Amino acid sequence: MLVLLAVAAAMGLLLFAFATLFGKDPHQVPFGLKDKPAPDFTLTRLDTGETVKLSALRGRPLVLNFWASWCGPCQAEHPTLARAAKHFGGEASFFGVVFEDTPEEARKFARPMEPSFPQLIDPQSRMAVDYGVTGVPETYFIDAQGIIRDKFVGPLLDMQELASRLHALQQATGPVGASR
Amino acid sequence: MSVLVLALLLSATPHAPQQAGSALLDPTREARVQALGKMLRCPMCQGLSIADSGSSAARAQMDRVRELVAEGKTDDEIRAYFVARYGEWALLEPPAHGVNWLVFLLPVALVLVGALVIGRLVRHSSVAQAAGAQPAPSPASADPYLDAVRAELKK
């Protein structure tokens, strides 16, 4: 009787574990910075060497795209982002951040593409770690108050998808003054 | 030939350029950096810590750990920094609270149940042996094939 009870208890625990843990993708890395203030950064532009600070970009929605020249999907998505920057440039700022790459390689990658939106160099990927980047490409959507509202993991190939995320960004209103 | 093809393929495939990590700290603080790195999961690898992974992203995270240690942050603060970004997923050893307790309790519970089952079985068989419940094997087996073998051996 005691054995049966013990086996039933162990089975119950196992079932509970399976019920709570199944259905989740173990490879999906949680994103803890959603609806949190975007960490400040000061980076330099790949083309002009000019300094760009996040605090100076506040007041407009911001799209930050992390990419690298060695990343195939980044090459595939770049034309979509370039078109989006041209089309929605009046409503939001677009910036690319070079991830784990050398400025030379990044320039070689960016050169054939038409100059669409500024690219920033992130030495030693410090800023990428600050933003919780898990790989490239990843695109962050930050509202006018500096709150990270969303991030898209993988290549953004659908213009409609990008447009709807931008629209949601414009609708979002974050707590003013919450960003650092 | 296949080695040559593989080498050509690998050289043609784009890859993340290796960047040197930040300068090591003094031995005591560097030991802390390595110990913390062993506890943090690499987001681009399969079940590896950032200290054990050779990926460039893991190197970037180790650089950040080193920077935070140099700034005088405590181990808890550094773990909290990574948990804030990647959730508890970032910790290779889950903290003991909530549903995480299952990870610690289930193995113990299963060992206890196993021990209980084995204990019952052993007690049952020893009681049965002591009571002589086990009948002595009869010379004439119920198995006709065994009988046939025995008869053959007697010839």
On whether any CB of chain B is under 8 Å from the CB of A171, the answer is no
Q: Please report whether residue A140 resides in a domain.
A: yes
- Sign (positive or negative) of CA dihedral B77, B81, B84, B89: negative
The alpha carbon of residue B7 is apart from the nearest alpha carbon of chain A, in Å, by 17
Q: How many CB atoms lie within 10 A of CB B65?
A: 26
Cα angle B129-B135-B141, degrees, rounded to a multiple of 5? 140
Q: For the structural domain made of B15-95, what CATH number should be given?
A: 1.10.8.640
Highest mean pLDDT among A95-99, B55-59, B120-124: A95-99
Domain annotation covers residue A28: no
Q: Two tokens at B96?
A: 């003991």
pLDDT digits (tens, 9 = 90+) for A24-81: 776 788 999 999 999 999 999 999 999 999 999 999 999 999 999 999 999 999 999 9
- The range of the structural domain enclosing residue A71 comes to 36-171
Classify residue A42 by its DSSP letter: E
Instruction: Tally A–B CB contacts below 8 A.
Output: 96
> Does residue A56 sit within a domain?
yes
CA atoms of A68 and A74, how far apart (whole Å): 7
Average pLDDT on A77-96 reads 93
Q: What does residue A149 show for φ and ψ, rounded to 5 degrees? A: -95, -25
Rounded-to-integer distance, Cα A9 and Cα A4, Å: 9
* Residue ranges covered by each domain of chain B: 15-95, 96-132
Whether residue A103 has a cis bond before it, omega within 30° of 0: no
Q: How far apart are CA A43 and CA A127, in angstroms?
A: 9
Supply the ipTM of this predicted assembly.
Answer: 0.82
Residue B85 DSSP class: H
What is the bridge-based pairing of β-strands A51-53 and A42-45? antiparallel
Average pLDDT, integer, range A99-116: 84
Residue A35 touches chain B, beta carbons under 8 Å? no
The pair phi, psi for residue A107, each rounded to 5°, is -65, -40
Helix (H) or strand (E) holding A17: helix A2-21
Which of A13, A33, A126 shows the shortest C-beta gap to B106?
Answer: A13
Residue A137 belongs to a domain: yes
- Measuring CA to CA, how many Å separate A65 from each of B12, B87, B119, B154? 25, 22, 62, 89
State how far the Cα of B112 lies from the Cα of B142, in Å rounded to an integer. 40
Residue with tokens 């195939």: A72
A108 within some domain: yes
pLDDT tens, position by position, B33-87: 999 999 999 988 888 999 999 888 899 999 999 999 999 999 999 999 999 999 9
Establish if A55 belongs to a structural domain: yes
Q: What is the mean pLDDT of chain A?
A: 87
A177 domain residue, yes or no: no
Residue A114 lies in a domain: yes
Cβ within 8 Å of A, B 71-130: 83-89, 99, 102, 105-106, 109-110, 112-113, 116-117, 120
pLDDT band at B131 (very low <50, low <70, confident <90, very high): confident
pLDDT value at A175 more than 50: no
Task: Please tell me whether residue A108 adopts helix, strand or coil conformation.
Answer: helix
Q: Specify the residue for token string 């790989």.
A: A135
Instruction: Give the number of domains in chain A.
Output: 1
Which range has the top average pLDDT, A74-83, B87-96, B103-112, B122-131?
A74-83
CATH of residue A66's domain is: 3.40.30.10
